[in-house]
Chains A and B, each alone.
Chain A
Amino acid sequence: MTVMSRAWGRLTLPGKVIFTAIPLLLALGVALALVVGILGGPIVELASQYGAVLRFLVAATIILVITIPTAFLIIFMEMKIIAFMNLRVGPDRVGPWGTLLSVVHGLKVLMKEDFTPSRADPLIFTLAPVVVYGSSVMTLVVLPFAPGLFAQDFNIGLLYFFAMGGLAVVGLLMAGWSSFNKYSLLGGLRSAAQMVSYEIPLTLSVAGLLLLAGTMSVNQLVANQSGWFTNWYVFQQPLGFLIFFIAVTAEANRTPFDLTEADSEIVAGFATEYSGMRFGFFFFAEYVNVFIVSAMTVALFFGGWNAPFPFPALAILLDPGSLGIWLLLGIAIVPLVGTLVLSLPFLLTRSAMPAWQAIVLGFVLFNVAVVGLLGVWAFVSFDWVAGLLWFLAKTYVFVFTFVWMRATLPRVRIDQLMGFAWKWLMPAALLNLFVTAGAILVVGR
C-alpha cells in the first residue's frame, strides 16, 4: 500500500487526472457495450452500410492493441527462458511465475522521465521512434492470421511487406543523427548498413518461392501450402528458408546480429540518448518485430495457418432449440453435478481439506473443463479458430528459437557480418533462385 501511495505522490497533476480517468473510461466502455447490446438492431444496420469502414476500424484497432500483449509476452519469454537456460530463476515476484513483470516494465517505461538532450534536434528525435514502430506495425497489415482473418490481402503483399519493413532504416538513421551523440550516430549508421545489406538476401531468398507459387499475395502463398505438411515450402526451398531465416534475424537486429545495440561496444547504439516512452517504442518495436518475422517465416515456409495434416471436418450440428425442456434442465443440473463430481476426488483423498475448499476447487475445475470443451468445439467447427491456433503455435516456436539463439550464440563482429551478407548469402540466394527456375524448366510446369 505504501508503494502505491508513494507512486501516487510522484505523479504530476495531469497524471493523477489520467489515472482517475482510466476507471471512468472503462465504465464508459462497459456502458457503451451494454447500449450496443440493447440497441443492437439499428447499429448493425448502420454497420452493414459502411462495412468496409467498419472492417478497417476493427482491423486497425485489433492490430494496434494486439501488439501490446504480444510484446509483453515475448519480453517475459525472453526473461524466463534465458534465465532457465542460464540456470537462474528469472522473474518470479510479480504475478504467478513472474508473468506480470513485463507489464510492470511497460508501466515503468510509461512513467519514466522522457528527456530530450539539450543539443538534440527535438523534432527528428521525436519522430524517429514513430517511424520505427510505424514501419513494423504497417507490415502486420498483410499478415494472414487465419483463413479470412487478415487486415488486407494485397496482390503485391510480399513487396509491400519488404517495402514497409525497409522504412525502419530511415527511423534508425533519424534516431542516430538527431541524438547528437557519437555512439548514437555510429549505432544508427551501423544498423542502417546492416539492414540494407541483409535486405538483399532477404528479398532474393523469397523469389524462389514466388517462382513456385506465381503470386505475391501472402494469403495465396499460405493457401498453396494446404494439405499434408510435405506441401510446406520449406521442403521445396530448404536453402531459401535458411537464407531467409538468417537474413530476417539480422533485419530484426537479434543476436547474433545485434550490433545495433551492442552494449559492450557502442553503449546502446542509436538508442543511447533515449529515455521514457520514446525509448519504450524502440524497445516495443523490437519485440513486435520478433513476432512479425516469426509469423512471416511461418506464413511463407511453414504453411501459415494450415494444420500439418488434413484433419477430417467435424461439424457438430446441434440446434439448442430442439432440445426443449431438456436444455433448461441441462443448464440447471450440469454445473451442479459437474462441480460435485469434480470435487469428489478432493473430498475422498484429501481428508485434511475442508469440504467448502474442495467444492470451490471442483467448481474451478468444472469451469476449466467447460472452457476447454468450448475451445475444442470452436477449434473443430470454426476454420479460423483452428487456423489461428496453428498459426500462433508455429509462430511461437520461432519466437522461442529467437530467444534460444539469444541465450546461446555470441555476437558476430561487424566485418564478419557485412562480408557474410554480400559474399555468401547473396550468391547463395541467387543460386537458389536459378536452381529453382531451372528445376521448373526441366519439370516443365
Chain B
Amino acid sequence: MTAVWYVVGFAFAAVSFVFVTIGAAWLISHRNRGDVHKGVPYESGIDTYGDTHGRFGLSFYIYALLFVAFDIEVIFIYLWAIVFRDLMATGFVSMVVFVAILLLGLAYAWRKGVLTWR
C-alpha cells in the first residue's frame, strides 16, 4: 500500500521539481519580444510551406501496432518466468505454443515487408 503512495508522491515531487525550475528560469532569464520572424518555425532557414501536421509514412504506425501485441506478450512471459520452476514441462509447452502463435504474426509482417523501412 505504501508503494502506491511512493509512486504518486514521487511523481508529484518530480513534476513540481521541473515546474519550479522552469518557473525560476522563466523569472531570471532575459526576454525580448522580437518581431514576426522570431516565432516562425525553424526549418533550415526556409519559410515553412505545406502542411506541418501532414501525413508521414505508415511505417511508424505498424511498428506501434506490433509493439502493442508483443508488449502484452512480454507481461505474460514475465508472469510465466517467475513461476516457471513450479510449472516445468507443462509451462514450457504452453509458453512455446503461445509465442509460436504470436510469431506467426511477426512472420506475416516480415513476409509482407512491413518490417523493412521504406
Direct contact of A and B (CB under 8 A): yes
Of all chain B residues, which has the CB nearest A208? Answer: B81
What's the tally of chain B residues with a CB closer than 8 Å to chain A? Answer: 66
Per the 8 Å Cβ criterion, residues 171-201 of A in contact with B are 177, 179-186, 189-190, 192-193, 196-197, 199-200
Contact A197 B10, beta carbon cutoff 8 Å? no
Contact A179 B41, beta carbon cutoff 8 Å? yes
Contact B30 A215, beta carbon cutoff 8 Å? no
Count A-B pairs with CB separation below 8 Å.
Answer: 213
Bound-state CA distance A151–B41 (Å) is 42
Judged by a CB distance under 8 angstroms, whether A345 is at the interface is no
Contact B52 A185, beta carbon cutoff 8 Å? yes
Interface digits, A39-83 against B, CB 8 Å rule (1 contact, 0 not)?
000000000000010001000110110000000000000000000
Contact B106 A141, beta carbon cutoff 8 Å? no
Per the 8 Å Cβ criterion, residues 1-44 of B in contact with A are 2-3, 5-7, 9-11, 13-15, 17-19, 21-22, 24-32, 38-44
Of all chain A residues, which has the CB nearest B109? Answer: A422
Contact B82 A141, beta carbon cutoff 8 Å? no
With a cutoff of 8 Å between Cβ atoms, the chain A residues found around residue B81 in the complex are 207-208, 210-211, 214, 433
What's the tally of chain A residues with a CB closer than 8 Å to chain B? Answer: 89
With a cutoff of 8 Å between Cβ atoms, the chain A residues found around residue B44 in the complex are 183, 267
Per the 8 Å Cβ criterion, residues 65-95 of B in contact with A are 66-67, 70-71, 74-75, 77-78, 81-85, 88-89, 92, 95
Judged by a CB distance under 8 angstroms, whether A92 is at the interface is no
Q: Which of B26, B29, B88 has the most A CB atoms < 10 Å from its CB? A: B29
Bound-state CA distance A111–B27 (Å) is 9
- Among A11, A199, A273, contact of B30 (Cβ-Cβ < 8 Å): A11
- Among A137, A141, A267, contact of B6 (Cβ-Cβ < 8 Å): A141
The segment out of A29-37, A114-122, A305-313, A367-375 that lies at the interface is A114-122
Judged by a CB distance under 8 angstroms, whether B112 is at the interface is no
Bound-state CA distance A417–B116 (Å) is 10
Given contacts A159-B75, A200-B71, A216-B82, whether A182 and B48 have CB atoms under 8 Å apart is: yes
Contact B28 A182, beta carbon cutoff 8 Å? no
Judged by a CB distance under 8 angstroms, whether A242 is at the interface is no
Interface digits, B40-65 against A, CB 8 Å rule (1 contact, 0 not)?
11111000100011001001100110
Given contacts A119-B41, A134-B15, whether A419 and B117 have CB atoms under 8 Å apart is: yes
Give min CB distance, B20 to chain A, whole Å: 10
Please list the 6 inter-chain residue pairs (A to B) with the smallest Cβ-Cβ separation, ordered nearest first.
Answer: A118-B39, A15-B28, A277-B25, A415-B117, A210-B81, A181-B41
